[in-house]
Copies of this chain bind each other. A is one copy, B any other.
Amino acid sequence: MSALAKLKHRFERIAIIHEASSVLAWDSSVMMPPGGAAARGDQLAALAGLSHQLLTDPATGEWLAAASEPAQEPSNEWEAANLRLICRAHARATALPGELVEARSRANSRCEKVWRQARRDSDYASVKPYLGEVLKLVRETARLWAEKSGCTPYDALMDNFQPGVGAADVTPVFARYETFLRENLEEIEGGQAARPAPLAPAGPFPADRQEALCRKLSERIGLDYAHARLDRSAHPFTGGTPTDTRITTRYDEADFTGAVLGVIHETGHSLYEQHLPAAWARQPVGEAAGMAAHESQSLIVEMQAGRSDAFLRFLAPELAAAFGPDPAFEAGNLARLWRRVHRGFIRVHADEVTYPAHVILRFRLEQALIGGDLGLDDLPAAWNDGMKSLLGIVPPSDAKGCLQDIHWYDGAFGYFPSYTLGAMAAAQLMAAARREEPTIDVALGEGSMDPLQDWLTRKVHTLGSRYGFNDLLRHATGSALDADAFEEHLRARYLG
């Protein structure tokens, strides 16, 4: 076997271990009895250790060096991209001493546990020392990665979630969106206030009927249940593997909105996984192109297509068939209900207009935390100042402020921008798809996302990680990420 073949075989092995971990992680959230938690933690840690060991094993470095020699010119662009990604994964893994990786893992899970109680009690002080330990280790990690790749520490963290995208790409886009918000939010709210308030559907909505509807809708959108499951969990997510994707949701019998729109959202993630390039399965280039790219695929299905006028016209009679007739199911009412703009404190409840403000706040704060310009003592006040400045509201408690998200307390600094990059990319992709596939909206009116998904499959899904985030967008839409399409989308939907 050539060095390249050995390298690819090793990365295949690593990918298979990740698949096993992914199914076990799904099981932890969906199936596992509480008494299995301790052993499961050991199982996941052991698999992570084994895959890290394979990645950092000296032989991996030797094969990589041999495969990267000029004489070993990759036979095509896919091979070249794959080799670059292998090199990146190896560099990131070998940059960190094993003790640091383990210390982070321990600090993260300790802090996350304390945070759960601290959020309930709105008691930032109780979790601050744990967050301090997490942050110290994240900064050390970022420093080592940055040293190796020659970028800033914060960019090194961002790169971990969305390769190739750094603060310099995001800052101007976010600044522009802040301006858009200042110029338009009041007008959007004014227009909304002038229209009739939406009717709330009258429940209860039995969980099993919600589940049957969710399953039917996800199938209609294209999910293949020969390769998927739909289950219940405390927090909705997409897990599993490309040939066995597992989406989850929760059912509130008083309101089906969260379940139905949540499953539509997760279906978008799932379709991306199911359509990744099979020829490159289990190689880095065969994976999804990053977290922002992934979020673009859930949001194009949920926000762009799922909440479009056309799809809501299809959905109205489906809701009536599932739950019995209700004037609230009329398509115009659904539009007013599910596109309601409201300045709130909680990110995960935010509408698509104000959501980016929540992300912009966190992006700026975490940059300052990593850069050392903001200390943890000052975080709650900085959070509240930021909310005041961006949305004009001040959280009444830290539970509704800097304690609301798990991310930092679990060590995931650099993740937040992905949400809004995904929302913007979704708008950009939708605009391009509509230009090239004029049947998209007609099909949406019939409940079919096939023309949209066919286009996405060609332009995004089957490309895996062949391109970086911005090149993927350039290739699909003609330009790198900008806020134009997203703003146009919001203007059309909220200022039209």
| Chain A residues with a Cβ under 8 A of chain B | 13, 16-17, 19-20, 23-24, 27, 31-36, 38-40, 42-43, 46-47, 50, 224-229, 240-244
**How distant is the Cα of A374 from the Cα of B24 in the complex, in angstroms?**
45
Contact B229 A35 (CB under 8 A): no
B40–A244 CB distance below 8 A: yes
- B42 adjacent to A16 (CB under 8 Å): yes
Decide: A225 near B33, CB < 8 A? Known: A38-B243, A46-B16, A243-B38: yes
Given the complex of chains A and B, what is the CA–CA distance between A230 and B387 in angstroms?
48
Among candidates B23, B34, B244, residue contacting A35 with C-beta atoms closer than 8 Å: B244
Q: Can you list 24 A-B contacts (CB < 8 A)?
A: A13-B46, A16-B39, A16-B43, A16-B46, A19-B39, A20-B20, A20-B43, A23-B24, A31-B31, A31-B229, A33-B225, A33-B227, A33-B228, A33-B244, A35-B224, A35-B227, A35-B228, A35-B244, A36-B241, A36-B243, A38-B243, A39-B241, A40-B244, A50-B50
Q: How far is the CA of A16 from the CA of B50 in the complex (A)?
A: 12
| A16 CA / B27 CA spacing, docked (Å) | 16
Most B C-beta atoms less than 10 A away, residue of A20, A34, A50, A242: A20
Determine the chain B residues whose CB is within 8 A of the CB of A20 once the complex forms. 20, 24, 43, 46-47
Name which residue of chain B comes closest to A19, CB basis.
Answer: B43
Residues of B contacting A50 in the complex (Cβ-Cβ under 8 angstroms): 17, 50
Residues of B within 8 A of A242 (CB): 39
Is chain A's interface secondary structure helix, strand, loop, or mixed overall?
helix
Report which of B23, B39, B42, B226 forms a contact with A34, defined as CB distance below 8 A: B226
Cα(A397)–Cα(B13), bound, Å: 45
Q: Across the interface, which residues of B come within 8 angstroms of A43, CB to CB?
A: 16, 19-20, 23
Contact A39 B243 (CB under 8 A): yes
Question: How distant is A34 from chain B, measured CB to nearest CB, in Å?
Answer: 6
Question: How far apart sit A20 and B47, CA to CA, in the bound complex (Å)?
Answer: 9
Q: How far is the CA of A389 from the CA of B305 in the complex (A)?
A: 72
Given A23-B24, A24-B24, A27-B23: A226 touches B35 (CB 8 Å cut-off): yes
Rounded to whole Å, the gap between the CB of A430 and the closest CB of chain B is 29
Question: 7 more A-B contacts (CB under 8 A) besides A31-B31, A36-B241, A40-B244?
Answer: A17-B47, A20-B20, A20-B24, A23-B24, A24-B24, A32-B244, A50-B50
Q: Nearest B residue to A241 by beta-carbon distance?
A: B39
A226, B243: Cα distance in complex, Å? 31
Chain B residues in 8 Å Cβ range of A19? 39, 42-43
Q: Which residues of B contact A33 (CB under 8 A)?
A: 225-229, 244
In the assembled complex, which residues on chain B have CB atoms less than 8 Å from the CB atom of A241?
36, 39
B residues less than 8 Å from A243 (CB atoms): 35-36, 38-39
In the complex, residue of chain B having the shortest beta-carbon distance to the beta carbon of A231: B31
Question: How far, in whole Å, are A126 and B240 apart by their CA atoms in the complex?
Answer: 37
Residues of B within 8 A of A39 (CB): 16, 19, 241-244
Q: Closest B-chain residue to A40, C-beta based? A: B244
Report the minimum CB–CB distance from A328 to chain B (whole Å): 32
Cα separation A79 to B47 with both chains bound (whole Å): 27
Bound Cα distance A35, B20 (Å): 15
Query: Which B residues are CB-close (under 8 A) to A27?
Result: 23, 27
Tell me the bound Cα distance from A42 to B17 in angstroms: 9
CB-CB nearest in chain B for A30: B31
| Given A24-B23, A27-B27: A227 touches B16 (CB 8 Å cut-off) | no
Residue from A13, A39, A240 whose CB has the most chain B CB atoms within 10 Å: A39
Residues of B within 8 A of A17 (CB): 46-47, 50
Alpha-carbon gap, A166 to B35, bound state (A)? 38
Give A45's nearest chain B residue, CB to CB: B16
Determine the distance from Cα of A23 to Cα of B42 in the docked complex, in whole angstroms.
Answer: 13
- CB contacts (< 8 Å) of A24 on chain B: these are 20, 23-24
In the complex the two chains form, what is the Cα distance from A13 to B46 in whole Å? 7
A462 CB → nearest B CB, Å = 18
Residue with the highest number of chain B CB atoms closer than 10 Å, among A36, A38, A227, A243: A36
